[in-house]
């Protein structure tokens, strides 16, 4: 059983602040990691992928990966009300399948 | 780029009928497509993996005779829910990938309600 644990939400942040999302995974052989955003009633939308240890920045999003600690995180800088959604952490196993965490719901207060 | 469509977006059917859902990759060839199901307030659950030209592989607990998957081309996979029952009501989402080492891109989903 491949487990993916995300910090429990909901996470409420004021507009303009940084939202910090954490994820740990149990499958040590995972090599690819993805963050998806899912708005209520909609399907997931890919926002970040990360494959190597360290940081990867894309606009207001920064993903961090530490394979030794089996940990991946997502920072959302300058949070906007449009960032209010559920964020799903999804490592890919060596069977090429994604495992999804329960998600962390973020609410950005205007 | 990387657009995946699904049709229909919403379907209501009577118990005992069959429903077909189409998943298309619009701007890339998808060697593999995945079918997920999501119940309210829950995360995505993988149902099956579909490879073009071969039989789908189903996750444990998913009835392959009930959920028929056909991946006839590199841009189209279909999921048929046969003899649907109210407990099959759910949000069905497909994803497609140009290669197993690449990202998965999700379709907009199909909301199935079985009366």
Among candidate residues B72, B83, B87, B80, the one with its CA nearest the CA of residue B35: B80
Is residue A60 scored above 80 in pLDDT?
A: yes
With an 8 Å Cβ cutoff, is B44 touching chain A?
A: yes
- Average pLDDT on A94-106 reads 92
Among candidate residues B40, B50, B35, the one with its CA nearest the CA of residue B100: B50
Question: What is the band of B1 on the pLDDT scale with cuts at 50, 70, 90?
Answer: low
- Partner residue opposite A49 with nearest CB, options B44, B103, B109: B103
Read off the DSSP letter of residue B88: G
pLDDT of residue B8: 98
List, for residues B31-65, the tens digit of each pLDDT value. Answer: 899 999 999 989 899 999 998 888 899 999 999 99
User: Which residues of B fall within a CB distance of 8 Å from A34?
Assistant: 103-104
User: Which residues of A fall within a CB distance of 8 Å from B108?
Assistant: 42-43
Strands laid side by side in the B4-7 sheet? B4-7, B19-25, B76-81, B67-73
Read off the DSSP letter of residue B52: T
pLDDT of residue B54: 86
């Amino acid at each position: 059983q491949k487990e993916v644990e995300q910090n429990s939400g909901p996470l409420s942040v004021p507009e303009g602040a940084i939202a910090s999302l954490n994820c740990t995974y149990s499958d040590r052989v995972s090599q690819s990691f993805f963050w998806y955003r899912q708005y209520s009633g909609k399907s997931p939308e890919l926002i970040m992928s990360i494959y190597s240890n360290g940081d990867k920045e894309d606009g207001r999003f920064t993903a961090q990966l530490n394979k030794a600690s089996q940990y991946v995180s997502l920072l959302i800088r300058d949070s906007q009300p449009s960032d209010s959604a559920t964020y799903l952490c999804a490592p890919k196993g060596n069977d090429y399948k994604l495992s999804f965490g329960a998600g962390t719901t973020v609410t950005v207060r205007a | 780029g990387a657009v995946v469509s699904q049709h229909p977006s919403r379907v209501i059917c009577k118990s005992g009928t069959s429903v077909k859902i189409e998943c298309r990759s619009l701007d890339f060839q998808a060697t593999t497509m995945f079918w997920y199901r999501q119940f309210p307030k829950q995360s995505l659950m993988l149902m099956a993996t579909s490879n073009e030209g071969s039989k789908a592989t189903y996750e444990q607990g998913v009835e392959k005779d009930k959920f028929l998957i056909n991946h006839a081309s590199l841009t189209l996979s279909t999921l048929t829910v046969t003899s649907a029952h109210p407990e099959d009501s759910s949000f069905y989402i497909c994803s497609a990938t140009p290669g197993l080492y690449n990202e998965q891109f999700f379709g907009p989903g199909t909301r199935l309600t079985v009366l």
